[in-house]
Chain A
Amino acid sequence: MTEQSFERPAPGAPDFRYEEHQSVDSTNTLCFDRARAGHSGRLWVRADMQVSGRGRRGRDWSSPVGNLFASLLLVDQEPAERIGELPLVAAVALAEAVDKACGTHQLVSLKWPNDLLIDGAKLSGILLEAEQLTNGRRAVVLGFGVNCVAHPPLTAYRATDLRSLGFEVGADRLYESLAAAMAEKLEAWRVPGGFSDIRAQWLARSAHLGRQITVRYGQEEITGIFADLDERGHLVLKEDNGRERTIYAGDVFLPDK
């Protein structure tokens, strides 16, 4: 296990392990490699750049040097039946980390379930993956990509980065804030009933609560008012006919976009 010699306590979160690389295929993939090799988790993997960074459903995640790429590996460290709440936990932690690193208050708002927006433009992406390991344990990987110094010219969404908004926040500083915030949020969330605070913090930053949105889900598109998050963090959409629908997965759009 020569690779593990890279490990040291994580900056910002001394109870977590940490390894840093110049270049990797993807920090998420490396986390799963570590898990399959028997790593016990609570491991952060960071890279200056990713050769094949990816987003949801294999979408490329542009990964230039200077932006933050970090993934957190958890192995059996979270309540299995509540893994669906983790995207919101991660989003709230990253939002608070950005505020702390930039010295701002509520700079970012949230798009369900886990995108960070500044003035409606996408600042970051979070990709969660889970896998049941052959030893019966469950690995969950939370991958974070944050546009610190540059953003890609996306077509589906408007994007932004911290530098272009006047915030000179390096990936190192943002990472430390993120590691600390994740440690704190995971601790608070893990206890029974711990999600209710996270849900409230998420709702306080919601970009679209009470507004009309469109959710694209497979071949289907549903439009309605973003009425609430249910107690598990699912999106509750109120359709024109007054019917409420609970959305478990999908892409959120504003109808005018």
Chain B
Amino acid sequence: MRNDNKKFDTALIRDLAVLLDETNLSEIELEQGDTRIRVARQMSISAPVSVAPAAPAPAAAAPSPAPAADNKPHPGTVTSPMVGTAYLAPEPGAGVFVQVGDKVSEGQTILIIEAMKTMNHIPSTKSGIVKEILVEDAQPVEFGEPLIIVE
């Protein structure tokens, strides 16, 4: 690592990143001596920065770092496709659609989410055994909220 250069690069990359934003360009490439710097962005939310040829881009130089990868959810997690109210039974007082330990098949309705008075039958995304039910009856749920785990 060339620490002197790194310091210099950081400031320059910052400047370039600002320039990139102001001009709405998707890419700027600059060559000075044996250092070549390319600042590029793929989408408005992230702007990857690469420094060629030797040093990898210092993290601090990225104008807007790519969002950190979420913690990987359990692969059998069924998440809510909408904001609404989760119901574990087809109607008050009736038996629940599924219980922990039940065997379910893909496509089987495991609960209902009501949104805008529409009763959405939520299917299991895979066949297996219900390992965990993460919501309570009549609980409000958010988009993407884990509902149930099937293994």
Contact = CB atoms under 8 A, between A and B. Distances in A.
A130 B92 contact: no
Interface residues of A, number: 29
B117 A128 contact: yes
Nearest to B81: A132
A249 B84 CA distance: 7
A254 interface: no
Contacts of B101: none
A119 to B, nearest CB: 23
B116 A248 contact: yes
A51 interface: no
A87 interface: yes
A84 B107 contact: no
Contacts of A87: 116-118
A114 B117 contact: yes
Contacts, number: 73
Nearest to A81: B82
A129 B123 contact: no
Contact of B90 (A58, A84, A85, A130): A58
Interface size range on B against A: 20 to 34
Looking at chain A's contact residues, the main secondary structure is mixed
Interface-central residue, B114, B119, B139, by most chain A CB under 10 Å: B119
Given A131-B109, A132-B123, A134-B107, A218 B118 contact: no
Nearest to A112: B117
Interface of A: 54, 56-59, 83-87, 113-114, 126-134, 140, 217-219, 233-234, 248-249
7 contacts: A57-B92, A83-B116, A84-B118, A128-B117, A131-B123, A218-B139, A249-B114
7 cross-chain pairs, A with B, having the tightest CB-CB distances, nearest first? A58-B91, A134-B107, A84-B116, A128-B118, A131-B121, A129-B119, A130-B120
